[in-house]
Amino acid sequence: MLGLLLLAGAVNYVDRITVSVANPLIAAELHLRPAQMGVLLSAFLWSYALAQAPAGALIDRFGPKRLLGAAMGLWSTAQAATGLAPGLPALILARLALGVGESPQWPVGARLVRTWFQHQHRGVATGVFNSASTLGPAIAPPIVTALMLSLGWRGAFIATGGAGLMVAVLWLSLYRERPTAPDESSAAPPVATRRVLTHPTLWAMALGNAGSGYLNWFYAAWLPGYLEMARHLSVPKTGWLAAVPFLFGFLGSLVGGWACDRLASAGLSPVISRKAPIVAGLVAGGAFTGVAIFANSDAAVLAAISAALFFANVAGAAVWALAITVAPTNATASVGAVQNFGGLVGGAVAPLATGLMVEATGSFAPALAATAAAAFGGATVYLFGVRRPIML
């Protein structure tokens, strides 16, 4: 079940990252300025964010199999439609549809880990499913670059959309539901969504995750463009080098999940064992993002960004482990979705703000500084705002 989820998540991220890899070619063909590309890069995240709470509630009510299967069909169709878009308005509409379709993926992951794994193994399991958020961006640049060089940027969208439809069939064929978690009673009463939404811990999680979302989506949306525009690398070279930091992010997600379980087994409380990697990861991720501003060589920049994404994803895995830990029974997907909503608002702001800053200043330095500040702010909110589980 976890392997299927990892595969679906990797395809999910390849589809959302394709536009970032194709950024320079799309801008050149359609004559788009950096600010306009910022609007396009952020469009997906606004619909994705707004669909989080409804998706979480639907998952908790109807289960992961049917909902994620239908969602994969929708997002894959939207991905293919992006390659047929004649201009910026149609591109934005396709990206908005992609955001709605992809919205159940991570809440489904939280629900799956809660129902298939015992408490002492959920940190590692969360790290594995969350690692799709960096596995996808790691494999996307070389794959999408190869597709663009052979099929053009439009063909790359159509091909990746077709691959998503095949994974949807695989998910629907092989995934099976488990009615309850191995350490929870099937007689657990339903939880009122309104009561969950009024809990201060939940909103501190959402606000803190906005800093994490900004950090991750700055790189997810703009790393290929940054390497080409600021570091003057060629498209083929960018296709390979842009994968390197995300491979470190993949490792960071696994380490973050492992750290949560290790800290819990060492005697820390469930909340602190999840919160500590979040705070440490965001602080370190922001610090290395700041280092990238002053790095002189391409190798030094790549090393700093790789470290930033490693620690950002240590935090990212712990963010989802925290949602699974603090949520009441039968509200895991809803809690995860609301926390993810905060991360996506921060993530949606990042590409847009970056495009505006680059167009206004001609430099990525202010955008890197803003990203570091957002990460530090998120760490502060988690440190002081998240203190106890959501007890109703």
Domain positions in the chain are 2-177+193-385
Question: What would the mean pLDDT of 30-44 be, rounded to a whole number?
Answer: 87
Q: Is the pLDDT at 336 greater than 90, yes or no?
A: no
Q: Determine the Cα–Cα distance for residues 173 and 154; give it in Å rounded to an integer.
A: 30
Q: Determine the Cα–Cα distance for residues 342 and 330; give it in Å rounded to an integer.
A: 21
Count the alpha carbons within 13 Å of 114 in the hemisphere toward its beta carbon: 32
Question: Considering the entire predicted model, what is its pTM?
Answer: 0.76
Other CB atoms within 10 A of residue 193 CB: 15
| Range of lowest pLDDT (11-15, 178-182, 347-351, 369-373) | 178-182
Indicate the burial class of 185 (C-beta count within 10 angstroms; 0-12, 13-18, 19 or more). exposed
In angstroms, what CA-CA distances link 367 with 65, 82, 111, 358, 360?
Answer: 39, 27, 35, 7, 11
Q: Which helix (H) or strand (E) holds 125?
A: helix 122-130
Q: Is the pLDDT at 156 greater than 70, yes or no?
A: yes
Q: Is the dihedral of CA 87, 88, 90, 91 positive or negative?
A: positive
Residue whose entry in the numeric block shows the structure tokens 């830990």: 325
Alpha carbon 35 to chain centroid, angstroms: 22
User: In this predicted model, what pLDDT tens digit does every residue of 246-305 receive, in sequence order?
Assistant: 999 989 989 998 999 999 999 999 899 999 999 999 999 999 999 999 998 999 999 999
In angstroms, what CA-CA distances link 158 with 20, 45, 69, 109, 281?
Answer: 15, 21, 19, 26, 36
Q: Determine the Cα–Cα distance for residues 112 and 323; give it in Å rounded to an integer.
A: 13
| Cβ proximity of 96 and 46 under 8 Å | yes
Specify which of 208-212, 216-220, 343-347 reaches the highest per-range mean pLDDT: 208-212
CATH architecture designation of domain 2-177+193-385:
Up-down Bundle (1.20)
Q: Is the pLDDT at 194 greater than 70, yes or no?
A: no
